[in-house]
Amino acid sequence: MRKLIGKELAEAIRTQTAAEVAAGPRPRLAVVVATGDEASLWYVRSIAKAAAGVGIAADIVDLGPAARPEQIRESLVRLSADTGVHGLMLQTPLPPGASAQELAGAIDPRKDVDGASPLSLGRLAAGLPAFVPATAAAVMALLDHHGVELAGRRAVVVGRSAVVGKPLAHLLLDRHATVTVCHSRTRDLASVTATADVLVAAVGRAGLIGAGHVAPGAVVVDVGTNPTGDGGLTGDVDAAAVSARAGALTPVPGGVGPVTTALLLRHTARAANLP
């Protein structure tokens, strides 16, 4: 079985992005945070560190876990209007009562480097130019990097979130795959996922996808990043079981994750160079 590793691709994207950044004024990314969740805070700090590595300034705008939705919206409106900020993200989770989908509408689509606003999602669905959610874009980039063909093939996406599953379904359709979206209410999940030439798991449930869910030789992409007891990460795919059956599998960590962060930086550099 092939391991679809993300490291080499992520490095290539970062190198290219660093060159783009060096050629112009310094891009700035602002990340709005309103959580005490340690894993999210760690992730945001890792983005800021990666940004610094390619010459992008990153501001973490921490509103604290008690922020009200109006405060978050005001912050997004202010940063959208700030000409010194080129990329703008809203980190989840948010405090109870705050809807990420609704609030992301306050992000200027030209700064929406993680494709979170409904307008970005709609432009993607309509086949118009838009920033694509970095995780969904990373899945496509990883498949392309490893030469996985999509046209005419069966793709099954497990998970229907507006940040991964749905945009990914549109991206796979654009590439002429026949696309099925499954979710928690799907009956006999294994019988559906076993029809996939390309199977993407994006649910957030460790070990959900076992050997019985995978057709022999299928390409399996694991978007899950579930914390393990020992401070590590594990995916939605039972890698040990699936390895014996799949044709290819992305590792967790080291598969989709590093490419996602690299694409977020590329998007920020591109946002800084929009006419």
Pick the closer one to a copy of itself by CB: 166 or 213.
166
Number of shown-chain residues binding a copy of itself (CB under 8 A): 36
Counting contacts by CB under 8 A, is residue 80 touching a copy of itself? no
23 backbone φψ class: left, alpha, beta (φ>0; ψ -120 to 50): alpha
3-state secondary structure of 233: strand
What is the distance of C-alpha 165 from the center of its chain?
10
Selected binder of a copy of itself within 29, 67, 89, 169 (CB under 8 A): 169
Counting contacts by CB under 8 A, is residue 25 touching a copy of itself? no
Selected binder of a copy of itself within 17, 80, 120, 260 (CB under 8 A): 120
Given the structure tokens 């050629």, which residue do they identify? 23
User: Could you tell me which of 121, 199, 120 has the C-alpha nearest to residue 157?
Assistant: 199
Selected binder of a copy of itself within 22, 77, 81, 128 (CB under 8 A): 128
Q: Measured from the CB of residue 182, what is the shortest distance to a copy of itself in angstroms?
A: 5
Counting contacts by CB under 8 A, is residue 194 touching a copy of itself? no
Q: CB under 8 Å, gap of 24 or more: what pairs does 18-23 form?
A: 18/53, 18/54, 18/55, 20/266, 20/269, 20/270, 20/273, 21/54, 21/55, 21/56, 21/269, 21/272, 22/55
User: Could you tell me which of 43, 34, 33 has the C-alpha nearest to residue 227?
Assistant: 43
Q: Measured from the CB of residue 232, what is the shortest distance to a copy of itself in angstroms?
A: 32
Pick the closer one to a copy of itself by CB: 54 or 209.
209
Q: Measured from the CB of residue 149, what is the shortest distance to a copy of itself in angstroms?
A: 12
Residues within window 203-222 making contact with a copy of itself, judged by CB under 8 A: none
Pick the closer one to a copy of itself by CB: 180 or 234.
180
Counting contacts by CB under 8 A, is residue 126 touching a copy of itself? yes
User: Could you tell me which of 47, 11, 10, 53 has the C-alpha nearest to residue 29?
Assistant: 47
User: Could you tell me which of 176, 168, 121 has the C-alpha nearest to residue 150?
Assistant: 176
Token couple for 119: 């307008």
Counting contacts by CB under 8 A, is residue 47 touching a copy of itself? no
Counting contacts by CB under 8 A, is residue 46 touching a copy of itself? no
Q: CB under 8 A: which stretch of 32-40, 56-64, 88-96, 162-170 binds a copy of itself?
A: 162-170
CA distance 4 to 61: 34
Q: Measured from the CB of residue 114, what is the shortest distance to a copy of itself in angstroms?
A: 14
Element (H, E) at 226: strand 226-227
Pick the closer one to a copy of itself by CB: 47 or 103.
103
The binding site for NADP(+) consists of 159-161, 225
